[in-house]
Structure 1
Amino acid sequence: MSATIDKSTLAFLADLTQNNNREWFNENKKRYEAARKDYTVFLDEMLEEMTAFEPVAYNQKGKDLLFRIYRDVRFSNDKRPYKDHFGAYVTEGGRKSIYPGYYLHLAGNNNTFVAGGLWMPPSDYLKAVRQEIDYNLDEFKSIVEEEDFKKRFGSISGEQLKTTPKGYEKENPAIEYLRFKSWNAMMPINDETVLSSNFMEVVLDAMRALKPLNDFLMHPLKDLEQEQE
């Protein structure tokens, strides 16, 4: 039987959103620990299932992919001490890797989502991906403009330049995609689905649909690394 998310886990995250302070959190530490364990058990089974279509999931553990719930507020105007969600990132090299991967964001109040793609890569990687999109625009469009992909994820999202990137003309047929500094696809999931018995399959189906995008984005990064060796 597939792992499921317990109702108490979403309830904790929803309550944390309303009570994001250390006193409340300390009083509810046991609830946090139970919710974190529930999410980690789900991740472990998810990773096992992912190995059927994504080799990077092999031998990875949920606890290692899970981001800390404590926020770094040193350089932020937002001083809330805790994230109001659980997040885990699956990719080669683990959760801190800059490679494209799969992200599962679990939150209350219908704010859960599955996402994939490449987030804010360093400049040399950014240039490599832009070149890949420019040279292979038809292949990229066949992934991100495919009917099922758009039905699940809508349009590609991410921070964009307001101008054209250096070295490209505004008339370039790929310009709408070249302006991105991140290439992300995101599928929202409501609480009812999260708490249903088929949540695991919904997540895995979304990740299968994200794999062609991740593979496309990974290719130029691996080529660049080989050139740099």
Structure 2
Amino acid sequence: MSTQFSGFPKDLLAFYSELIENNNRPWFNENKQRFKDTVVYPMSDFIEAMAPRLEAIAPMYIADPRPNGGSMFRIYRDVRFSRDPRPYKEHCACQFRHQAGRDAHAPGFYVHIAPNGVRFGGGVYLPPAPVLSEIRRNIHEQGAKWNAIKQDPEFMNAFTDVNGDGLKRAPKGYDIDHPNIIDLRRKTFFIMKPLASIDSITTPGFIDEVDETFQKAVPFMRFLTNAVDLPF
């Protein structure tokens, strides 16, 4: 296992910039080997290098470098029920999920790379209703702890606040005047740090910044993980 990562190829962002202008199967098929060389293999190397770092941060979360079935998201979009006909995602990403989670709706640390920006952090995306209910219950019952996490200076400096789409009204069982109603209305919970210069993904320091950011996300991720009755 390699623990070294010198950065992504400069062509990665160029590949996605061109894909945005040519999001069709003929162009992609012509550039498929380029995609593997520029995106897939380097992302696998990044995930492999993150594995021991992630184990030190959150040992129950997994960095799986396999291109298929691992931490890396596939480039293919599911267009079966979408009005958007574009067949390919215009970004690359990976999610380091809790070992108890089998899909993207499990708690996880996340890295997103696109020509219009790079960001990383963690959270849980559209969890099933019973899981969402438990997260809300814990925010309600442990409001002081939740707010202390959000108001910590290191947290605020890295992430500013918790984000995620929410309901227009208070969820059932909660008052609209609840002090944490903004978070209780959320259907998704995530924190993300934007990368100041996207070109730095090509440098060895990129993985260090991701590592440092994941460390700052630990109190938030621990709260979410424990809220859904999983060990951190």
Instruction: Please report the TM-score for the alignment, with normalisation by the length of structure 1.
Output: 0.90
5 Å matches for 1:77-226?
77-93=83-99, 96=103, 98-109=105-116, 111-189=117-195, 190-222=197-229
Give the unaligned 5+ runs of structure 2: none
Secondary structure of the 1:82 match is coil
CA distance in 1, matches of 2:62, 2:115: 29
* Percent identity between the two aligned chains: 33
Q: Give the length in aligned residue pairs.
A: 223
CA distance in 2, matches of 1:165, 1:21: 41
Contact 1:163 1:179 in 2 (8 A): yes
Secondary structure of the 2:190 match is strand
The amino acid across from 1:6 in the alignment is P
The amino acid across from 1:55 in the alignment is P
Secondary structure of the 2:119 match is strand
The amino acid across from 2:215 in the alignment is R
Aligned mate of 2:22, from 19, 23, 27: 19
Secondary structure of the 2:93 match is strand
Contact 1:3 1:45 in 2 (8 A): no
CA distance in 1, matches of 2:52, 2:226: 24
The amino acid across from 1:52 in the alignment is A
Contact 1:48 1:57 in 2 (8 A): no
Contact 1:119 1:184 in 2 (8 A): yes
- Answering whether residue 71 of structure 2 is matched by residue 60 of structure 1, we say no
C-alpha distance after superposition, 1:11-53 (max 9, x if no partner): 2122212211111111111110102111111111012221111
Give the unaligned 5+ runs of structure 1: 224-229
Report which of the two has the higher share of helix. Answer: 1
Equivalent in the alignment of 2:31: 28
Cα pair distance change 1:88/1:59, threshold 3 Å: closer
CA distance in 2, matches of 1:103, 1:184: 9
CA distance in 2, matches of 1:55, 1:37: 24
The amino acid across from 1:175 in the alignment is I
TM superposition shift of 1:164: 0.9
Contact 2:127 2:187 in 1 (8 A): yes
Contact 1:9 1:34 in 2 (8 A): no
Equivalent in the alignment of 1:51: 55
The amino acid across from 1:49 in the alignment is R
